[in-house]
Amino acid sequence: MHKFRKALAVGASTALMVCLLGGCGNSIDPEDIDYSIQLLAPEEGDDIAIFETSLGTITAVLYTDEVPEVVQNFKDLVNEGFFDGQIIYQVVPTVGAALFGSSTEDGNTPDTNTGSPLKAEYSDSLWPFSGSLVALCSEMGQLWNKGYYYDSRSFFISDVPMDEDTLNQMTENYFPAMMVNAFKEMGGVPGISQFHTVYGKVIDGMEIVDEIQSLPRTEIDMEAAGVEDEDYEQGYTLDEKVTIEKVTLGTYHAEDFDELDNTLTQEEYDQMVYDSAEEQAKIDEAIANGTYGTEEESSAEDSSADSSDIASEESSASESSSEN
């Protein structure tokens, strides 16, 4: 069994994220994040993978331009038929993960296109929203050369709605407004961001990904599996096997799909960008004034909301008067 390290609780995960977004070693400039890659429909001709499973077909777009090495490893293994006949060897409900990519049912026999673990690759623009296809990464190496590595083991993220506490903590810990709104709309697991590598998104067959999480399952004896601490999520095996019968590669053509899962329309995306920009401007102003997260900021927001309500009421009254 491959141990799935716990998704950091948001209170803790935001410390990691603030570091990534705000200026430690591997910093990410929020201005560099292109949310359209994940939130909008794929572009004509993008790479896709078709998973034929015992429950039905799952189709995922692959982010070849964003994480080319991870996608190439996956493609090479697909072309070898590596994934064909494998099972979903573990589910982790707390993060909506359905794991695959081991030639044995215990999850301990992965492979790569080189035969050795590969250095993890990340993109500033790829985040673990619901429906993501993700490479399972693990910390490896000695004290002086530790790093994150991946192999063939991957997982789908099912629909994981965001709760208000998580969203509030993201806001309190300086997540960009656009990212908070994207997770609020799409769902997902922000606590595993920039640890496990997102390399695709389910665009068709999301109901199958969700169904996997609802199937009868048996709790894995974590202690017997060699897990002696509480740093890992509780895993389960499915009581009835779900088999990945075959994986094939293809090309995205919009005409092949009536509608897409986990995808916003251009209008919905533009509205999210607009609303987020307004929210971010207020956040930036509050940070500059030293009032962010204080009662003073809350009072200012309430005052602004009251002013908007009054203006709206006056406008309505004016329109009514004009009609009379």
Per-residue pLDDT of the chain (324 residues; tens, 9 = 90+): 555 555 543 333 333 333 333 333 346 888 899 999 999 999 999 999 999 999 999 999 999 999 999 999 999 999 999 999 999 999 999 999 999 999 999 999 999 999 999 999 999 999 999 999 999 999 887 766 778 999 999 999 999 999 999 999 998 888 999 999 999 999 999 989 999 999 999 999 999 999 999 999 999 987 777 766 566 788 999 999 999 999 999 999 999 999 999 999 999 999 999 999 999 999 999 989 988 877 665 555 555 555 555 555 555 555 555 554
Is residue 264 within 8 A of residue 283, CB to CB? The reply is no
**Which amino acid belongs to residue 143?**
L
Cβ–Cβ under 8 Å, residues 91 and 2: no
pLDDT at 190: 93
Written as six digits, the tokens of 193 are 């961001």
Q: Which of 97, 126, 66, 83 is nearest to 3 (CA)?
A: 97
CA–CA separation, 208 and 201 (whole Å): 14
pLDDT of residue 290: 87
Amino acid, single-letter form, for residue 218: T
Read off the tokens for 31.
């201005």
Question: 3-class DSSP state for residue 133?
Answer: strand
- Quick check: 90 and 241 in contact, CB under 8 A? no
Q: Hunting for tokens 């407004």 — which residue is that?
A: 177
State residue 141's pLDDT score.
77
Where is 244: in which H helix or E strand?
A: strand 243-251
d(CA 176, CA 173): 9
> What local confidence, expressed as pLDDT, does residue 139 receive?
87
